[in-house]
Amino acid sequence: MAATFRGTTPEPPDVRPRLTVLSGPSGVGKSTVVAHMRKAHPEVWLSVSATTRKPRPGEQHGVHYFFVTDDEMDKLIANGELLEWAEFAGNRYGTPRAAVLERLERGEPVLLEIDLQGARQVRETMPEAQLVFLAPPSWEELVRRLTGRGTEPPEVIERRLEAAKIELAAEPEFDVTLVNTSVEDVARELLALMDVV
């Protein structure tokens, strides 16, 4: 069994899962793992979310997120344009529905990198989706990663760590848990779970 998995090694599904949701506490390394995976496999399509959060240095509109105003987010929600959405640590985030459905209709693998509340909504609306939880090796390491990233002020880090306690407690709701000790190992396991390699 690969060291990355926690719990039982998942059985190969009867039908290839086309929609995969990657969740886990802020700072655990979701974006890092996905970026590593897509460097070798750019064909893995990652949904670009809409958010009311302000861009971090280097983040580009349409690449990392669609950065929208509160009014624009209100409209996306009211018009049913989001597959799921949630408020997380003071900002709203949502998955544009049309782009995801288009790819799923073509039978292409789709990856969503979203929070626990979003994962729960996807489970309700698209129960065939596979839900993958990315866990930190320890609480101390999670705090180190989130703080060490240097992108949020201390009060936002505190909010994200409060949310992390709730997210970590929800691990049993997920189909699979991968422990992010090694980015390379997790990226490889995730590709296998998505049946890309």
Ligand X SMILES: Nc1nc2c(ncn2[C@@H]2O[C@H](COP(=O)(O)O)[C@@H](O)[C@H]2O)c(=O)[nH]1
* Known binding positions for ATP: 24-31
In the list 180, 187, 188, 193, the residue contacting ligand ATP (rule: CB under 6 A) is 180
Q: What is the DSSP letter of 61?
A: B
Residue 92 interacts with ligand ATP (CB under 6 A): yes or no: no
Of ligand ATP, ligand X, none, which one does residue 130 interact with (CB within 5 to 8 Å by kind)?
Answer: none
Q: Which of ligand ATP, ligand X, none has residue 114 at its interface (CB below 5 to 8 Å by kind)?
A: ligand X
Q: Where do the H-state alpha helices sit in the chain?
A: 30-40, 70-78, 97-105, 116-125, 139-149, 154-169, 183-193
Interaction of residue 178 with ligand X, rule CB under 6 A = no
> Which residues, 6+ apart, have CB-to-CB distance to 13 below 8 Å?
130
Q: State in angstroms the smallest separation of the CB of 12 from ligand ATP.
A: 26
The candidate with the shortest Cα–Cα distance to 182, out of 33, 25, 43, is 33
User: What's the closest the beta carbon of residue 124 comes to ligand ATP, in angstroms?
Assistant: 22
Name the residue nearer to ligand ATP (CB basis): 17 or 24. 24
- DSSP character string of 85-116: EEEETTEEEEEEHHHHHHHHHTT--EEEE--H
Interface contacts to ligand ATP, rule CB under 6 A: 24, 26-32, 145, 148-149, 180, 182-183
